[in-house]
Amino acid sequence: MLLLADSLSVQSFLPFAIFGLFAAAAWWLLDLFATGKPKAEQRLDDIKNPARRRDGNGDPIKESSAVAKVLEKAGPALAKPLRPTSELEANKLKQKLAAAGFRSESAVSIYLGLKFVGLVVGLFLAGGTMLLLHGMTQKMLLRTGLIAGVMFYIPNLLLWFFTKRRKDEIFYGLPDALDLLVVCVEAGLGLDQAMRKVTEEMKHSFRVISDEFALSNFQLQMGRSRAEVLHELGVRTDVDDLKSLAAILIQTDKFGSSVAQALRVQSDSMRTRRRQLAEEKAAKTAVKLIFPLVLFIFPGIFVILVGPAAITMIRQMFPAMQGHSG
């Protein structure tokens, strides 16, 4: 019995030991391949060149972590099996990553590398754990494939979450940006100067819109045409309201109509749509409350209201029925 208990305890703790071994090996590899300088050398470099530690806005530049460095170096090799075969698929993937805010050159490699790493880790960890717990069975293979598939699609879920959050920030902050654009244009500024003013003023309230307008201003300064920059702004963000705004600004620039009037009309329509969405969500609230009410609140109310009456009826009726039968 003691030997049996000892073997069961060893088998129960064996998956955790394997997981700890893999975690320690991964941590050792990260420290081994990270090419960061020692902290003493970094402090000496910062003292020699303190301006290098801050960006153009005066904000401190955050140094990349060891995990980011390893992913950036190992990304191309890990992403090679999953790299798109056609140029159209590669462009679609770049556009999806840009809509989520990842516009670096290594974004595609890191994203595909994370998917490949998730698949491999899911296969090895889940397969090893299931093999130790259940042995080589069809059920073990099915569970291993399911866990590996979930690990493979976790980057897709994270990308969808980041994209949705970014689109929501742009949607809720765009009417205020348009109002500021209208004020700047009516005050005599051109569209380029107005966009630059919006970039400066909305840097702390709506950072996403500020970054997008800053990138558009940079492209205009590099000599690109305004129509191309505005069209790319709508495509890059993948927000319908920003696409329509870009189309309206391109038309006003082409036909020479009033920019301020077009911006005012677009701002009013966006505020109307945002109010309608709020009213729609408020109307759906009553329907969504039915399920928690029926499942969690009504049973408690039913017990509280009917319980005492049921207990009283049982106490009074059962003795009377027994006496009548006797």
Q: Which two tokens stand for residue 179?
A: 């109002």
pLDDT value of residue 53 = 45
Indicate the pTM of the whole model. Answer: 0.65
Q: Which two tokens stand for residue 232?
A: 């790319």
pLDDT value of residue 31 = 54
Asked if residue 252 lies in contact with residue 259, where contact means CB atoms within 8 angstroms, the answer is yes
Q: Is 75 exposed, middle or buried (0-12, 13-18, 19+ CB in 10 A)?
A: buried
* Distance (Å, whole) CA 243 – CA 24: 48
Listed residue (25, 22, 21) closest to 33, CA to CA? 25
* Distance (Å, whole) CA 176 – CA 185: 14
Confidence bin at 145 (pLDDT 50/70/90): confident
Averaged pLDDT for residues 295-318? 82
- At residue 54, the 3 state secondary structure works out as strand
Number of Cβ atoms within 10 Å of the Cβ of 74: 17
CA max distance for the chain: 105
* Distance (Å, whole) CA 20 – CA 273: 52
Whether 30 shows a pLDDT value over 60: the answer reads no
- The owner of tokens 């305004």 is 226
Asked if residue 239 lies in contact with residue 171, where contact means CB atoms within 8 angstroms, the answer is yes
pLDDT value of residue 34 = 45
Whether 278 shows a pLDDT value over 80: the answer reads yes
Whether 57 shows a pLDDT value over 60: the answer reads no
pLDDT value of residue 60 = 43
Asked if residue 253 lies in contact with residue 231, where contact means CB atoms within 8 angstroms, the answer is no
Whether 127 shows a pLDDT value over 80: the answer reads no
Q: Is 321 exposed, middle or buried (0-12, 13-18, 19+ CB in 10 A)?
A: exposed
Averaged pLDDT for residues 153-174? 88
Listed residue (194, 172, 192) closest to 183, CA to CA? 194
Whether 54 shows a pLDDT value over 50: the answer reads no
* Distance (Å, whole) CA 184 – CA 195: 9
Fold of 166-287: Receptor-associated Protein (1.20.81)
pLDDT value of residue 1 = 46
In the chain, % of residues over pLDDT 70: 71
pLDDT tens per residue across span 73-114: 666 666 666 777 778 888 888 888 888 888 877 788 888 888
Domain layout of the chain by residue ranges: 19-48+65-162, 166-287
Lowest mean pLDDT among 43-52, 71-80, 229-238, 257-266: 43-52
Asked if residue 200 lies in contact with residue 54, where contact means CB atoms within 8 angstroms, the answer is no
pLDDT tens per residue across span 167-222: 888 888 888 888 888 888 888 888 888 888 888 888 888 888 888 888 888 888 88
Listed residue (26, 25, 19) closest to 125, CA to CA? 19
Lowest mean pLDDT among 32-41, 67-76, 158-167, 232-241: 32-41
- The owner of tokens 């703790």 is 13
pLDDT tens per residue across span 280-292: 988 888 888 888 8
pLDDT value of residue 148 = 81
Q: Is 37 exposed, middle or buried (0-12, 13-18, 19+ CB in 10 A)?
A: exposed
pLDDT tens per residue across span 58-74: 444 444 455 556 666 66
Whether 2 shows a pLDDT value over 70: the answer reads no
Confidence bin at 50 (pLDDT 50/70/90): very low
Asked if residue 102 lies in contact with residue 111, where contact means CB atoms within 8 angstroms, the answer is yes
pLDDT value of residue 61 = 44
